[in-house]
A and B are shown apart, each in its own frame.
Chain A
Amino acid sequence: MQAVRQIQSRTVVLPSTNIDTDQIVPARFLTTTTRAGLGSTALFADWRFDAAGKARPEFILNQPASAGCRILVAGNNFGCGSSREHAPWALVDYGFQAVVSTGIADIFRSNSLKNGLVPVVVDASTHAWLLANPGAEMTVDVERSEISLPGGRTLAFALEAFARYCLLHGVDELGYLLQQAGAIADFERKGA
């Protein structure tokens, strides 16, 4: 995965609560056998396109103001439902690097961290401000685990030391696990 240190961008706001991974990537796109290309076709497909495949102009990602935005602000419990990693793959492929909400579902959060998509959980009042100010310019600083809002306001967000290390260095956890092969073999011998 790509290393990610600091994301500075305007926000795109999807205020709905409980946006599930079936909305982020509908199941019919899951027959793919690669990670690539989900951003243009699959991401929010049924919200972005009508039955005939035409872009719905009212949907936020189809509006010019959203172009180039890398931070998605969403309603509470974002990414609930299915474990499909296609959801963060599609968001990253589209260009998002961070998701901000008051709550992010467990499996989606874990999958996001493995793909350089930074999950940022904020308090209710910060969230309310972000929902009310779509397109706000904000910064997500991975190194400091901190977001900055217009007017110089900064707020810390929770990010595990290990996850932060992986994000900053663009490394997968697999390397770390493989280094522990000795301990794993010992465990297997003990248990057998």
Chain B
Amino acid sequence: MLEKIWHDHVVVPETAETPAILYIDLHLTHEVTTPQAFSALRTAGLKVRRPDRTIGTLDHSSPTDPDQVFGRVPITVESAGRQIAEFERNCREFAVELLDMRHADRGIVHVIGPELGLTQPGGTIVCGDSHTSTHGAFGALAFGIGTTEVGHVLATQCLLQRKPRPVAVNVRGRLPDGVGAKDLILAIIGKVGVGGGTGCVFEYRGDAIRALSMEERMTVCNMSIEAGARAGMIAPDDTTFAYLADRPRSPKGAAWDRALDRWRKLPSDADARFDSEIEIDATTLEPMITYGTNPGMVLAVSGRIPTGGDAVFRKALEYMGFAPGDAIKGKPVDVVFIGSCTNGRLSDLRSAADILRGRHVASGVRMLVVPGSQDVKRLAEAEGLDRIFTSAGAEWRESGCSMCIGMNGDTVARGKYSVSTSNRNFEGRQGAGARTLLASPATAAAAAVHGRIADPRELMG
């Protein structure tokens, strides 16, 4: 599949001296990683080559507080407000479509691409954000780039690239009840390690993957980068096509039929060659949670923190305030965050709401629920999920990256424990000194109810 997509997008083939020139079908942009790229274009007197293949949204540093989003009060983080205003100016000047602060389609860049039907099988998709790997769930080659490369794509719709190595991740069997896509990808990262995928593109295969919904597949591909793989892919199938049918910007009529013909030819041939293969048995997995300061430091909620380890391992535990041999279950929690490009979609909110229905957030715990897009927010409200959250004592916000990256004022205080459905538990990721434990929406919601790390299966059904 990687080979086919690559071949279809090579403008100039690679040689020993020069990388390939790869054509980019879709360029997603946001306020944080573009200002310097637009400045570079302006300095060089260049235009955006294909505004029709470029779209902007506001997510990373944008507020989630409705009063700030709808302009009733100024944006609290002043530098973020200036950055947002600059992005709005840049999009206007360079004729790039912007889903601005009050736009009904605004949301996290990796939530809106699929939701609008912009993300399509067989395409090349880039964004100045490492979680661009999300879009690979549709059988696209999608990866994160830096700001200089954002400038290259704006100016030429192309990138200089060497072909990455394809690696198969074979997930056999079915996930047990109460174990989801987030648990699966955390287990994969735990096995591969946070640098194990460097230079590679993961292609997730096997029965467990085929059984996942598109939203679950996005959760898996989203965190490929946490194993060091710049992209993750899943071959498109009827689940993919059903998701894309009738999306606002997916092909219509005869164009849809032609697209479908093309897309059905994408899956890797039976004899496709991979540089290596990673085997995962889905049937033995449990709800997973991280205990350290990278996503590879992960265990089952029933597990104990490993003993031994080197100085880096000890430093991570010291930062987290944990000791080797501790059970993770029962550890106290201060903050619970449901949201992000990993787990901010409707099915994620449903999963958390199922745990919270008729229950209450434990006293002393702050729970923040941030939908991945304004569309997710509307759909969740239409089925009453917002009322489940608010009557349980959680906060319900407008869409954005929020507490995953903590740029907009949604942060966790120093030393506090946060169970978060986001993708990174790095030191200070959710605020200087904050301690993050990554988990699924169900595990996070269970932690909110108990005020402690708990096995969500005890609150299910």
Query: Footprint of B on A, CB under 8 Å?
Result: 15-18, 20, 22-23, 26-28, 30-35, 46, 51, 75-77, 80-85, 88, 103, 105-107, 110-111, 114-115, 160-162, 172-174, 176-178, 180-181, 183-184, 187-188, 191
Residue of A nearest to B17 (CB): A161
**Complex-state Cα separation, A173 to B155, whole angstroms:** 12
Contacting pair B156 A110 (CB below 8 A): no
Known A27-B429, A31-B407: A83·B162 in contact at CB below 8 Å? no
Judging by beta carbons under 8 Å apart, are B230 and A30 in contact?
A: no
CA distance A83 to B433 in the complex (A): 22
Chain B neighbourhood of A15, CB < 8 A: 311-312
Please, which residue of chain B has its CB at the minimum distance from the CB of A109? B198
Question: Across the interface, do B86 and A33 meet the contact criterion of CB distance under 8 Å?
Answer: yes
Q: How far is the CA of A17 from the CA of B311 in the complex (A)?
A: 10
A33 interface neighbour in B36, B129, B424, B433, Cβ under 8 Å: B36
Contact assessment for A85 and B146 in the assembled complex, using a CB-CB cutoff below 8 Å:
yes
| A51 CA to B429 CA, complexed, in Å | 15
Residues of A within 8 A of B406 (CB): 27-28
CB proximity of A71 to chain B, nearest CB, Å: 21
Known: A31-B77, A33-B82, A51-B432. A105 touches B162 (CB 8 A): no
- CB-defined contacts of A27 to chain B, threshold 8 Å: 405-407, 429
How far apart are B160's CB and chain A's nearest CB, in angstroms? 5
Q: Collect the chain B residues with CB atoms within 8 Å of residue A51's CB.
A: 414, 432-433
5 A/B residue pairs, CB under 8 Å, sorted by A? A23-B426, A30-B60, A51-B433, A105-B228, A114-B148
Instruction: Determine if A22 and B61 form an interchain contact, defined as CB atoms under 8 angstroms apart.
Output: no
How far is it, in angstroms, between the C-alpha of A188 and the C-alpha of B44 when the chains are bound? 23
Given A107-B230, A162-B19, A177-B158, is A30 in contact with B194 using a C-beta cutoff of 8 Å?
Answer: no
Q: Which residues of B contact A46 (CB under 8 A)?
A: 427-428, 432-433
Produce 1/0 per residue, B390-434, CB < 8 A to A.
Answer: 000000000000000111000000100000000010111100110
The residues in B between 48 and 93 inclusive whose CB is less than 8 angstroms from any CB of A are 49, 60-61, 77, 79-80, 82-83, 86
CA A84 to CA B30, docked complex, whole Å: 12
> In whole angstroms, how far apart are the Cα atoms of A105 and B195 in the complex?
7
Contacting residue for B428 out of A26, A31, A162, CB 8 A: A26
CB within 8 A of A31: which of B79, B128, B199, B414? B79
Question: Among the listed B33, B49, B61, B82, which residue makes an inter-chain contact with A84, where contact means beta carbons less than 8 Å apart?
Answer: B33
The CA-CA distance from A17 to B129 in the complex, in Å, is: 22
Is the pair B146, A110 in contact by a Cβ cutoff of 8 Å?
yes
List the A side residues contacting B23 at CB < 8 Å. 184, 187-188, 191
B35 within 8 A of partner (CB): yes
B211 within 8 A of A: no
Q: How far is the CB of A90 from chain B (nearest CB, A)?
A: 13
Q: Which residues does chain B contribute within 8 Å of A20, judged by CB atoms?
A: 294, 424, 426
Cα separation A39 to B83 with both chains bound (whole Å): 20
Q: B146–A114 contact, CB under 8 A?
A: yes
Q: Which residues of A contact B116 (CB under 8 A)?
A: none
The answer to whether A177 and B152 touch across the interface, beta carbons within 8 angstroms, is yes
Interface: B440 (CB within 8 A) = no
With known contacts A28-B407, A177-B160, A160–B19 Cβ distance under 8 A: yes
Q: Report whether A174 and B152 are in contact in the complex, using a CB–CB cutoff of 8 Å.
A: yes
Look across to chain A and name the residue whose beta carbon is closest to the beta carbon of B130.
A83
Given known contacts A75-B312, A111-B148, A161-B16, A18 and B294 CB-to-CB distance under 8 angstroms: yes
Give Cα A81–Cα B294 distance, bound, in whole angstroms: 9
Of all chain A residues, the one with the shortest Cβ separation from B37 is A85
Could you list 6 further interchain pairs (A-B, Cβ under 8 angstroms) beyond the known A110-B146, A162-B18?
A27-B429, A161-B16, A174-B152, A177-B21, A180-B156, A181-B156
Query: What residues of B have a CB within 8 angstroms of the CB of A76 in the complex?
Result: 195
Nearest-CB residue, chain A, relative to B128: A83
Tell me, in angstroms, the Cα distance from A62 to B184 when the chains sit together: 41
A168 → chain B closest CB, angstroms: 14
Residue of B nearest to A17 (CB): B312
Q: Mark B195-233, 1 if CB is under 8 A from A, else 0.
A: 100110000000000000000000000000110101000
Chain A residue contacts of B148, Cβ below 8 A: 85, 111, 114-115, 172-174
B315 adjacent to chain A (CB < 8 Å): yes
Beyond A77-B198, A177-B155, A183-B21, is A83–B407 a contact (Cβ under 8 Å)? no
> Which residues in B have their C-beta under 8 angstroms from that of A173?
148, 152, 160
- When distances are taken between beta carbons in the complex, the residues of chain B under 8 Å from A103 are 195, 198
- Which residues from chain A contact B130 at a C-beta distance below 8 Å? 81-83, 107
CA distance A176 to B156 in the complex (A): 10
